[in-house]
Structure 1
Amino acid sequence: MTSMPQVLVVDDDPHIRQLLAFALEKAGLAVREAEDGEAALAAVAEQAPDLVVLDINMPRMDGLDVCRRLRAQGDLPILFLSSRDDEIDRILGIELGGDDYVTKPFSPREVVARVQAILRRARSPRPVEAGESQTETLSRGRLSLDGESWSARWDGAEVGLTVTEFGILKILLSAPSRVFTRDQIIDRLHGPGFAITDRTIDSHVRNLRGKFAAVGGHDVVETRAGVGYRLGPCLGVQPDVASRA
């Protein structure tokens, strides 16, 4: 029982909570429920789950506010649920640190699959590919990544990243001169056939850039227009000087 991953399902609709709890428990996950944002924060404070399934549109305290507070405390994985087909909600959620999102109406099997994918990334790094090391420290310029502890540092100071942000940076650092398309990044993060939008990757990269820019790392990720992303020189060069085609 102690090794069973715990998921906190937060939604003001009891039918959705029950539906997801049934599907997740059937998949071998332990589930707790919270009916609003305040109850969710109290549940996390009482016993931190391994992942939160978090509805965006809730009364009193919506999911984005809950995410902000959770992100101020740490990097607890978050899967957003949204009842609106609104790209702003989706992108803002990812920029706040959400690991993925699902739009209502959804298939419970899809939610389970995405929860399991996030938990796999959080608990065990993907298999090492040819020419890539899983455990040794990778570095370029003032940037270093420790694959064993999943920590990123700039000039020796740790920069707090979500699992997805770290995964993207590790992919780029594994082949510094290579330009990765968004599809290639998605495949390496989630495996082939995992359906998320290109804009989700763009939002993670934007959030990644912002975190490093805050500590002087203005040139960590470069955009290749119409192609994708590659690692920058990581020397702290200002954006107006860095090569950003």
Structure 2
Amino acid sequence: MHRILLIDDDAQLGPPLASYFQRFDMALECALKPSEGLARLKLGGLDAAILDVMLPEMDGFALCRAIRKESDIPIIMLTARGEVMDRVVGLELGADDYVPKPFEPRELVARLQTVLRRRVAPAAAAPSNTPSTALVFDGLSLDPVTRSVLRQGQALELTSTEFDLLHLLAAQPGRVFTRDDILNQLRGVDAEFYTRAVDIVVSRLRKKLEPLDCIKTLRNAGYTLALAKAAP
């Protein structure tokens, strides 16, 4: 059963949502304050976090930033409906997805299921004699089994969305992926997941991959991974 942490100061939201989540094999824990949520996250054993933007002590953006300093746990932000900037800022800070308020519980479950599917590494299912599926380039390597990335020998901490985007580009280096290609590959056709989100995730990736300059933008076309494969 997946364990999800909700950090929201609305005490009336958690209990009915927890009951609904049980139908989908999810256990929801609730924290009314960011400090409570951060303390619970440090204990471990959680699979994803849901953060409201409007919180006491600190807002959801500051909370997301604090969590990202310590963890790459999938994060979904709850934003005010129509507040596009809330969504943009949340994604820039490392959130994996957002759900506008008021929301349908089924939509929130669907978004959680998506980020959790990305998170699951199939290492346990892979036979020990399976050949390596790592993608190795000059200065960069990705292992889709362990979902790990090395940049010039240094391990990187990527969110699930960042890893999936990098893996998509690395699986076909040199191919130009349009924003629509990326949206459809990472989450399927979803009108709410707008093309600006792709640019935000690419920007985050570029910062983490520095000093490598490997994700190229082709104006009016899309993005491509411009790295040579390492010699065997």
> Unaligned 5+ residue runs, structure 2?
123-129
Say whether residues 1:223 and 2:200 are aligned partners: no
Q: Deviations over 1:35-84 (max 9, x none)?
A: 12111111212344100011111121221122122111121110110125
C-alpha spacing 1:234/1:74, structure 2 compared with 1 (3 Å): farther
Superposed CA deviations along residues 153-197 of structure 1, whole A, max 9, x for unmatched, are 121111221111011011001111211112221222224458411
Q: Does 1:114 align with 2:111?
A: yes
Q: Within 1, Cα distance between the matches of 2:156 and 2:57?
A: 32
In the TM superposition, residue 139 of structure 1 has moved relative to its aligned partner by 2.2
TM-score by length of 1: 0.83
SS, match of residue 222 in structure 1: strand
Distance 1:11 1:205 in 2: 29
Structure 1 residues 63 and 179 mapped into 2: Cα distance closer, same or farther (>3 Å)? same
User: Runs of 4+ in structure 1 displaced over 6 angstroms?
Assistant: none
2: CA distance between counterparts of 1:163 and 1:118? 7
Q: What is residue 82 of structure 1 aligned with on the other side?
A: 79
More displaced stretch, 185-194 vs 34-43 = 185-194
Distance 1:61 1:195, change over 3 A: same
CA contact (8 A) 1:9 1:21 kept: no
CA distance in 2, matches of 1:155, 1:186: 28
8 Å CA contact 2:165–2:186 kept in 1: the answer is: yes
Residues 198 and 19 of structure 1, relative CA distance in 2, 3 Å threshold: farther
Distance 2:105 2:182 in 1: 25
Shift of 1:16: 2.6
Aligned ranges for residues 82-101 of structure 1 at < 5 Å? 82-83=79-80, 85-101=82-98
In structure 2, the residue matched to 1:184 is 181
Question: For 2:96 and 2:132, how far apart are their aligned partners in 1?
Answer: 23
- TM-score computed with the length of structure 2 as normaliser: 0.88
Query: Number of residue pairs matched?
Result: 222
Q: CA RMSD in A?
A: 2.2
Match of 2:161 in 1: 164
